[in-house]
Chain A
């Protein structure tokens, strides 16, 4: 079945470091891809999304490009801040469906 695999955490970085969180997917068709973020004590929030191959989603300095050839949607940021500390989830949704299928989440810790 359809699935999402993302890198295990926690990922610990210093402020202003570069970030990459890997996400790969398995799907029978052409899904939409999402990154959600969960800040401590808060609900999941959509961070960015891409709906077709080669689309780039971006928000709050984060970017991810939908790569069909490598079935990947890696999350990147050039310079992280302490306020980026959170759990990040990669997810997919098939065109014919409404269910989000999720990765296990990656906890990001940014130290000042």
Chain B
């Protein structure tokens, strides 16, 4: 079956541009997570959705980061006025529900801000 997909796979943005990163979770998965992975590091939690509700956005690094999941399936992570420190791989994961259910990861979007 189809896994989690993300687009684009690679994005180069000039400093100050806005970007939008898309995540298509596995069909039927209630929970959706965004993580940020800097080069040579493990992922760090950004935000969590249960269906369309954003229940936790404690990991978003600044108010330039915004995520939505309006119909409880596809999610978009938007970064406004990108800065060089935003360069990272952005990972999306989905799971059947919160808690100890396995999180399935997409391939990630590599964002480079020049």
Contact = CB atoms under 8 A, between A and B. Distances in A.
A43 B99 CA distance: 21
Interface size class of A (residues with CB under 8 A): 20 to 34
A104 B103 contact: no
A43 B40 contact: no
A32 B100 contact: yes
Chain B at the A interface: mostly helix, strand, loop or mixed? loop
Contacts of A91: 42
| In the complex, the 3 A-B pairs of residues with the closest C-beta atoms, listed nearest first | A102-B42, A44-B105, A43-B105
19 contacts: A4-B42, A43-B91, A43-B106, A44-B91, A44-B93, A44-B105, A45-B105, A46-B104, A95-B100, A98-B48, A98-B56, A98-B98, A98-B99, A99-B48, A99-B56, A100-B45, A102-B42, A104-B42, A105-B42
Interface of B: 3-4, 31, 33, 35, 40-45, 48, 56, 59, 91, 93, 98-100, 102-108
